[in-house]
Structure 1
Amino acid sequence: MNIEIKEAAIEQLLKMNYKENEGVRIEAIYVGSCSIYVEHELKIDNKNEDDERFIIAGVPILISSESKKHLPDKVFLNYSDGLGYKLYSDDETLRYNLQLKRVN
């Protein structure tokens, strides 16, 4: 898994105070109902046993093994004041207007 965080997003993410064992969780939740799609979320959460942890430019990133199944091999995270966080790949925008929330 390759995660690239753009400078604007790094600046915003470094403003957060991370507790020990916390990180920014990039979550991809498979939703199967009338339509089948993947919902993406961004939150500050504690590291779980099945999480892979990355440190990118000083920002702790968490991705569960389940989320990895539903994310492209390479994802980008960016930020703009107007649209919040944007998660995307080389091929598509996965979600924009993501807001970072603390789980705990």
Structure 2
Amino acid sequence: MDEYPAMSRVINSEVLLQHFGYWPNFHDAEVIKVTFEALPTWRSAVTFTINVFDMTNEVTKKGYFKLVKKCQIELQLTGIKELVFDYFSFQNVLFEL
């Protein structure tokens, strides 16, 4: 797990590691839903639903890179003190996470 330091802070991170065989960098993953919550414990939470995949070097007939190991994950951040949230639109592609 030392190879992937973020894993120690993510509950159930081993499921993602088993699915991909490595810890993904989320490059080109798409955020499709965001849920903001004000919890009764005076803590806030934001849950991101993200389409994640592995991009191969193969190209499809339409000229796109072939995607494999597709899955949808929910990543919840808690105890947020400050958040800037801009530009959420019809397509929300991540550079990395």
TM-score range, shorter chain: under 0.3
TM-score, scaled relative to structure 1: 0.22
